[in-house]
Amino acid sequence: MDSGIGLLPAAAAVRRLRPDADLVLSSDPGGMPWGPRTPEDLTVRALAVAEAAAAHRPDALIVACNTASVHALPALRARLEPGLPVIGTVPAIKPAAAGGGPVAIWATPATTGSPYQRGLIREWASSVTVTEVACPGLAEAVQHADEAAIDAAIAAAAALTPADARAVVLGCTHYELVAERIRAAVQRPGAPRLVLHDSAGAVAAQALRRIGERPASEAQAAAPGLTVLLDGREAELPAPALAYEEGRLLRAVGSPVR
């Protein structure tokens, strides 16, 4: 679940790890972006998106949204667990800092400077130089596959990123869809290859650990299912999702589930 197509990287990571898995993608395009909303409003919307997914009886729910994980995770777990394991998304600050600094954290304006993110920095990155970089408009541009707006938002954030940064933490799941464009904008000529840290692979692996491995039936292996819920209603993958490799992967190897 996510406000929009930021759920694609985690869904694609699950698909790669478990090609037989049926997937339900639940989002709130009518309410996207969630970042500017109050925590109370965001939590109401996140609960609605989660309950729409839960109605399909999944084995686990990945909250593939940093903002929702910051503000709504306790409410989601209170509502759905223990019957449905809920896995949140945490910015990969710990592994980024372990690789040495300086580190830049790209995130939405709502997350940048938040007590939550500052707490993660104190806990895991106190020994390295960290720069928090707000990226206004980038998630929205990615959501709509607006190429010009993506380029402008990335350029603006790159200008705020220290030239000596060795790693960039992608603190919004939407950003993972344009990771290589971010690398190209931040990479300095002659500098070591910039390391990007995302969350999709880690949360996908954690979800599978929570539910345990299950043998796939032949039917599942031959035709893994894909259900897309937009504002709680079944639909096709939105056209902008197909601008990204992850969206095309999910469409190519998923069949409708009814």
Residues designated as active site = 65, 172
Contact indicator for 18, 207 with CB cutoff of 8 Å: no
Cβ atoms within 10 A of the Cβ of 245, count?
A: 13
